[in-house]
Amino acid sequence: MTAAITVTELGKTYVVPEREGGVRAALVALVRRRTREVKAVAEVSFRIEPGEIVGFLGPNGAGKTTTLKMLAGLLHPTTGTADVLGYTPWRRDRDYLGRMSLIMGQRNQLHWDIPVLDSFRLNQAIFRIPPAEFRVRLDELVQLLELEELLRKPVRNLSLGERMKCEIAGSLLHAPAVLFLDEPTIGLDVAMQRRIRSFIAEYNFRTGACVMLTSHYMADVEALCRRVIVIHQGRLLYDGDLAGLVQRFAAHKTITVELEEGAKVAESVAAGLVHGAQVERTATGFTVRVPKTETPAVASRLLAALPIADLTIEEPPVDQVIEKVFAAPTSEVDRDG
Amino acid sequence: MADVGLATPDSRPALSRFSLAALASFYRERFAMSVAVNVAYRGAVAIWIFVTLIQPLVFIVVWRTVAGEGETGGYTANQFVAYFLVMMVVDHMTFIWHMWEFEWRIRTGAFSPLLMRPIHPIHGDVCENLAYKVLGLIGVLPAAVLIGVVFDADLSGVGLGTVLPFLPALVLAMVLRFAVEWCLALAAFWLTKVTAINSLFFALTTFFGGIFAPLAVLPGWMQTVAVWTPFPWSLAFPVEVFLGRRAGADIWLGYAAQLGWIMLALGGLALLWRRATRRYSAVGA
């Protein structure tokens, strides 16, 4: 199958002016401008198949948005190539622009002062959507996103969540085959986040569109993306499934022990069995965080020595793992499968 | 699920192929939208129109005083009134404000959504501009008549023979000024603060375009310089044609100058646009 998106050693370096604070430095800068190169994205490569939903993760400033902007044709890269649906995005071929959409969290393409429907009609003219097709698609979006009440209101009178729903609908009227979503749920309440999330899944299911999504909310990623691409400091850190990410980067596992009723274990005994790992008491037993490699040994020692009713071993929550990955810079690159 | 609906259509319109019908339908929608916005903000529009009237009024009072009972640069006091009235209308019909907006567009990233549409952003600006001009005429034209009556404008040279050649001169002037000033607006892609350069350009337009005074009143060397700039061709020329101060071959020469500058400006615009979008760093967007 031909990939929907192929990115090869894509890089973007910004040249930014640099000077110290203060009047003196400002005067010096008038004569001699000092600039500094900032590598926003450094030779990133990946492939995304049609119909995939891929989470694009990284801390602030990792280069996610820059990458999406290059793929949407807004930015020219400094190095590398990209092919999306057979087009080079930054050539901004109109046929390409008519087949993709980039939705950015707090950026509005809808006109502030006029009713939502008028902005939609303008999009119909821009993307040359035949009237019958426009009606059917609008009906479907209105129904899925519950927009009926909003269509005739000026955008400035909508709440943030309502506006986001309308932005999304406006960006999908032309049925893009590739969808870039940059923080689509930012600033929204939990219920609205859930609605947007289920809508994205539904859209992907119904149209087979390829979706690339960035989000700071792990709930978005866990609900939507089987595959994630992690970039950090402009470099690709991980590309594979979400479970694999946890396995690969989680250094510890949590063992939860439930003791038989009435059984008691002295702290010194427990501490001895887990070789100094931190023990936390619970109502019916205790939990202990142990290094991943020692988990089997510790678990079997516990089972052998203590009156145990139940023992579970858990991976740490995804967001904790991600947080740790971002905290420790590494140049390791991995590709699953 | 329905076969149409959200499903990605098999046959898509070839957006890269130029279609006059599609462009016309965009212009219709976008123009209607801009009119609606201007009507929604009619209070602000009324104030802007009022501001448009102040400058010509000042010039009328000043130049009437200068002319006194005689003539200055071939204009009597009442002919000055006529000149500044027609100039007011032509200035209203040709002016654009987008160079003041571009800095904001680029700094805030408001430009990004425009760049991702399969249509050049200039079309939207043209519609916005036309909508404001057409609505503004509702205020500007009656005001021009009123001022003309109050100050006794001398329109004796005006007739069908001057109005007919005036119309193409006005349209060409609108196109020319729009193209030149949109080029200027693109400077915002290179400079983050464009207010200074805009102000300089505005000063040049005021002098060489004939807004401050008819070109005939300026010193000889300034007139010579002015003729070789685009400014008089987008302002003074249509005014002079309307007032009957240009005739015959002179008018044709003017059209030719307008067309020449339009081609230069559009060529420059295409070149600048390509470079500007390469440069765009989509900040904040």
Would you place residue A107 in the very low, low, confident or very high pLDDT band (cuts 50, 70, 90)? low
Query: Which pLDDT score, from 0 to 100, does residue B223 have?
Result: 92
- Do the Cβ atoms of A133 and B4 come within 8 Å? yes
Q: Is residue A333 a part of any domain in this protein?
A: no
Q: How many CB atoms lie within 10 A of CB A69?
A: 30
Angstrom distance (rounded) from CA A37 to CA A179: 30
Would you place residue B1 in the very low, low, confident or very high pLDDT band (cuts 50, 70, 90)? very low
- Do the Cβ atoms of A95 and B16 come within 8 Å? yes
Average pLDDT, rounded, for chain B: 90
Same domain? A212 vs A93: yes
B5 pLDDT more than 70: no
Q: Is residue A86 a part of any domain in this protein?
A: yes
| DSSP of B102-155 | HHHHHHHTTHHHHHTSSS-HHHHHHHHHHHHHHHHHHHHHHHHHHHHHHTT---
Query: Which pLDDT score, from 0 to 100, does residue A161 have?
Result: 85
Q: Rounded to a whole number, what is the distance in Å from the CA of A86 to chain B's nearest CA?
A: 15
pLDDT in tens, A63-80: 898 999 999 999 999 999
- Do the Cβ atoms of A118 and B36 come within 8 Å? yes
The CATH number of the domain where A307 resides is what?
Answer: 3.30.70.980
Q: Is residue A208 a part of any domain in this protein?
A: yes
- Do the Cβ atoms of B285 and A206 come within 8 Å? no
- Do the Cβ atoms of B37 and A107 come within 8 Å? no
Q: Is residue A321 a part of any domain in this protein?
A: no
Same domain? A212 vs A167: yes
- Do the Cβ atoms of B15 and A72 come within 8 Å? no
Q: Is residue A26 a part of any domain in this protein?
A: yes
Same domain? A225 vs A262: no
The CATH number of the domain where A65 resides is what?
Answer: 3.40.50.300
- How many domains are contained in chain A? 2
Same domain? A191 vs A90: yes
Residue whose pair of structure tokens reads 């005083």 in the numeric block: B65
- Of these ranges, A260-269, B179-188, B214-223, B230-239, the one predicted with the greatest mean pLDDT is B230-239
Same domain? A261 vs A284: yes
Q: Is residue A228 a part of any domain in this protein?
A: yes
Q: Rounded to a whole number, what is the distance in Å from the CA of B183 to chain A's nearest CA?
A: 20
- Of the residues A225, A247, A269, the one at which a domain ends: A247
Q: How many CB atoms lie within 10 A of CB A222?
A: 16
Q: Is residue A80 a part of any domain in this protein?
A: yes
Q: Rounded to a whole number, what is the distance in Å from the CA of B10 to chain A's nearest CA?
A: 11
Same domain? A217 vs A267: no
Query: Which pLDDT score, from 0 to 100, does residue A272 have?
Result: 82
Q: Are B41 and A112 within 8 A, CB to CB?
A: no
Whole domain around residue A39: which residue ranges?
Answer: 5-247
Listed residue (A100, A91, A84) closest to B278, CA to CA: A91
Q: In a mutagenesis test of the B interface, which of A122, A156, A178 is the best target, namely the one with the most B β-carbons within 10 Å?
A: A122
Same domain? A62 vs A202: yes
Assess B39–A contact: CB distance below 8 Å, yes or no.
Answer: no
Q: Rounded to a whole number, what is the distance in Å from the CA of B25 to chain A's nearest CA?
A: 6
Same domain? A123 vs A169: yes
Q: Which sign does the torsion angle of CA A233, A76, B27, B87 carry? A: positive
Same domain? A237 vs A298: no
- Of these ranges, A31-45, A47-61, A261-275, the one predicted with the greatest mean pLDDT is A47-61
Same domain? A180 vs A31: yes
Q: Is residue A334 a part of any domain in this protein?
A: no
Q: Rounded to a whole number, what is the distance in Å from the CA of B111 to chain A's nearest CA?
A: 10
Same domain? A179 vs A296: no
Predicted ipTM of the assembly: 0.86
Q: In a mutagenesis test of the A interface, which of B37, B116, B123, B283 is the best target, namely the one with the most A β-carbons within 10 Å?
A: B116
- The shortest CB-CB distance from A75 to any of B5, B7, B282 is to B282
A25 pLDDT more than 90: no
Minimum CA–CA partner of B112 in chain A: A74
Same domain? A65 vs A11: yes
Q: How many CB pairs under 8 A join A and B?
A: 119
Query: Which pLDDT score, from 0 to 100, does residue B32 have?
Result: 93
Q: What is the pTM of this model?
A: 0.84
Minimum CA–CA partner of A139 in chain B: B5
Higher confidence at residue A16 or residue A73? Answer: A73
H or E element in which residue A307 lies: none
